[in-house]
Structure 1
């Protein structure tokens, strides 16, 4: 299987989020190192695995289809 590796800026263009939002809010909370991204050669540069990020986005979309937003920022899962 071939993976597509993206820098933060390239990912930003694909998912229409600011690169700062990806770095400050999504990285390490939604996007996990070793699953969605890695640091090649133990360096500072981060490469995101597009196929894994896309899976995560679609998984979240499916889960939120039956979710009811709560005032405190949480979510109630209806059935």
Structure 2
């Protein structure tokens, strides 16, 4: 199981988002604990799993390309 773990600062450099934006807006809404990041040894430190973050970024980008926005905020993927 060889995965690349990144700190918030390292992730911010890779995806070109400010570290504060990742902590305040993306963590726990887009980036989920146990899927995109872990807290090793039950501590406060957060390590992001790069492969999962990267995969979801590409998956969401490809889904958005085929989505038609609807009037009330939904999307049609048909």
Structure 1 length normalisation: TM-score? Answer: 0.88
The match for 2:13 is 13
Number of aligned residue pairs? 78
> Structure 2: 5+ residue runs without aligned partners?
none
1:25 match: 25
Alignment match, 2:57: 57
SS of the residue corresponding to residue 17 of structure 2 reads coil
How far apart are 1:70 and its partner, in Å? 5.2
Aligned position for 1:66: 66
Q: What does the per-residue CA deviation read over 1:13-64, in whole Å, with 9 as the maximum and x for residues that have no partner?
A: 0000001111111111111100100001111110000000001101110110
Separation in structure 1 between the aligned mates of residue 69 and residue 7 of structure 2, nearest angstrom: 32
Aligned CA RMSD, in angstroms, stands at: 1.5
Query: Is this contact kept in 2: 1:67–1:75, CA < 8 A?
Result: no
**TM-score, normalisation: structure 2:** 0.89
